[in-house]
Structure formats: structure tokens, C-alpha cells
Amino acid sequence: MAKDKTGKKPAAGKPADPKTAARSGKASAPVLTRFGVIPPSSRDIKRIGVLTGGGDCPGLNGVIRAVVKTAVEVYRWEAVGFEDGFEGMIMPGKHRPLDPEAVSGILYRGGTILGSTNRGNPFAFPVTKNGKTEPMDCSGNVLDAYRRLGLDCLLVIGGDGTLKIAERLMKERGLKVVGVPKTIDNDLSATDQTFGFDTAVRTATEAIDKLHTTAESHHRIMFVEVMGRDAGWIALMAGMAGGAHAILIPEIPYNITKLIEKIRQREELGHKSSIVVVAEGARPVGGGVSFIRSANPPFDLVRLGGAAQRVADEIERLTGRETRVTVLGHIQRGGTPTSFDRNLATRFGVAAVHAAARGDSGHMVALRGTEIVTVPLAKAVGRQKFVDPQGELVYSARAVGVDFCSPDSSGCGG
């Protein structure tokens, strides 16, 4: 290992002094430490930024912790955290230095110590003038903060919308960015799974488990509404794990008559209660989704809600049977992350810092099989991953009697 300018070997985990390496003719050579090989490109980096955007989910703190500890302890960089997503780069006084002490004890905590927001798009930032809120391009403020704070790379943790913004900042403003995928919906196509999803499924499954007993006691049809927006991953996985009798997901529009048939079939077999899991984006054949509030572009997406109540009301009207609806809502975003989500978050955070060290700007870390890889942001964003109606998961659910209530169903639960 090369010696530094004092004539001593660098401490374990600390790259050799680049000036000394240059004099020895080894400026481009990787440095081997107890953490592995440190790429030479990492010597050009002194400080990185990190932020969390979009909805919160279990595991965000695990990523932040891994990013900070890897940046500081492996590469000897400085880390800056921005509060409330990109808003922290636009508004003054919303950033702070992060070191290993600042991220101590947060691995098992849900949420994000940096805060987050769904309304912080710097290219359409809400600015109120004369009592009227209008979108304004504040991406220049982001670039100013990036330069003023001496950042060499920005690590962006978020879902599809947040990562789209990161890619645009790279293309239009020249920022160096590395993305970390985050969503409980598990609908990002470039990664096999996102952290937070496992915890959300566990939360929903536990709720379904508890509803079985009260449904059986009162001979009721219980409806459980779960999150997921346009994708039915949470509903499918929690419904299967919780022993639901029917699962309604966006990818398979349902027929209410088929659900009534399923309930009556169970009654004929002596079962006086049923559990139906409904994804918030579920819709009937030929109908639209249920929503609480319409979209308010460019600030807000449509706020979904009421899908389960819609189905329950129809069942009561058509059958006279008593129903109850449980909407899990944001409880799925909270709580202690599972061990799987903690480990995946940690691996993503470490890999994101390594990607920055290699100079892989414009890439996102992803899980492929059992390995963490990087993929171009351009190929990762704007492409949702949906449940395959003809896939193995749906087939397995049908094989054990779960009904998806599709109009063309035949055998194996429909």
C-alpha cells in the first residue's frame, strides 16, 4: 500500500493520499482497504448530499444510515442531508451535516429523519403570490444549493416521480445523481423488490389475520382495503398470506356477480363469513377507480379511496348480507421495518455510495435476484411493474381457492 506524505501507511479504510499516489505514478490505481477496493474516481469526491422524496415508507432511515456510514467511514467524505425532499435544496436553512453519530439508532425506526413531501417538484414548485398558488421552475435553486455546498454527487431516495426529477436535474442542470428506489407499492419495473414493501405486506397480513376471528364470530363479510395505487402487489401478497377468500386488484377488473357467487358458494359449504381484500385501485369491469379527491396537477395526484366501501355497499344492496369495511390506509407506511427491509435498505444505501464513487451518475441501484446492481435511470423511471394476471402468483392463489372475480373466470377460484 502507498505511503502518505508523512511516510506512514494510511489507516485501514482510508485511501492513500492522491498527491502521493500521483508522485509514485499510481494515481489511477485502485486502493485496497479492509472495506474492499476503493476506486480511484472516489478521490474526486469530497462531499455528497442525500434526500428522501415522495411518500414515506419503512426502511428509509436504513438507507440514510448506510449512506452516511459508508460515505464517512469508508471513503472519508462528508455528507449533507436535505429536509423534506427537494424542498430542502430550494428553501434556505433546510439542510444539515450528517455523520455516523447523527444516524445512530435509526435503523429500526420507520419514516425518515430527513422528512419528505409529495409537493416538492423543483420544476413545478408551488409558490403563492397574492393568495394564488402557481407552479414555478425553481430547479435553478437546486443547482445553486448543489454548488454552494460543494456537493460532488446527490443521492436521491424516492419512487418513480422523485427519480424522474433526479434524472431531469441531471440532464437539464448537470447535477451528478444516483437513485435509490423506494415505494411500498413495489411497482418499479427496474428492481425485483423495493424496501418497505415487505413491511407493508406484513402489516396488512396481520390485519387480515385479526379480521378472520371477528368475521367468523359475527358471520359477516369483511372487506379490507389496502394501498398500492395502480398495482395490486400488496393486495395479492397480503391476501394470499392472510387466507383471503377473494382478492380484487387493478390488473383484473372484477365482476360483482362473481363475488356474490363466491360468497354463496362458501355459505353452501357452511362458511358464514368471508374475507375480501380490495386494492385501492381496484375497479369493476367497464368502470373507473374510486377516489376521494381528483387530481390537482401539477401538485397532487388523484387521491384514491373508497374502493372497498363501494364493493361492500353493492354486496349489501344485492344480497342483504351484513358487511364491514376496514381501510388500513397509512398504517401500512408506518411501523418498524422488517428484517428483510432493513437489510435491503442497508444494501441499497451502501451500493448507492459505491456507485457514486465509481462515477455512475445517472444510475439507480436495484435488486436483481439476490444481487444489487445498477441500472440507468432512463430505463428505470416511467415504467411500472404490474401483477401479471396470467402469472404464477395469480395461478397459485387461484389454485388454493382465491377468487379474483373476473368475468371470464373458470375453475381454480376465478
- Say if CB 399 and CB 251 are below 8 A apart: no
State the DSSP string of 40-109.
Answer: GGGGG--EEEEEE-SS--TTHHHHHHHHHHIIIIIS--EEEEESSTTHHHHSTT-EEEE-TTTTTT-TT-
Using the structure block, give the residue that is written with the C-alpha cell 358458494.
Answer: 265
Q: Rounded to an integer, what is the distance from CA 5 to the centroid of its chain?
A: 45
The rounded distance, in Å, linking the Cα atoms of 398 and 118 is 37
- Say if CB 278 and CB 225 are below 8 A apart: yes
- Say if CB 75 and CB 45 are below 8 A apart: yes
Catalytic residues: 185
> Cell for 242?
392472510
- Say if CB 35 and CB 72 are below 8 A apart: no
The rounded distance, in Å, linking the Cα atoms of 265 and 248 is 18
- Say if CB 347 and CB 113 are below 8 A apart: no
- Say if CB 325 and CB 20 are below 8 A apart: no
The rounded distance, in Å, linking the Cα atoms of 370 and 366 is 10
Residue (of 336, 367, 4, 386) closest to 187 by Cα position: 386
CA distances from 209 to 205, 239, 352 (A): 6, 10, 37
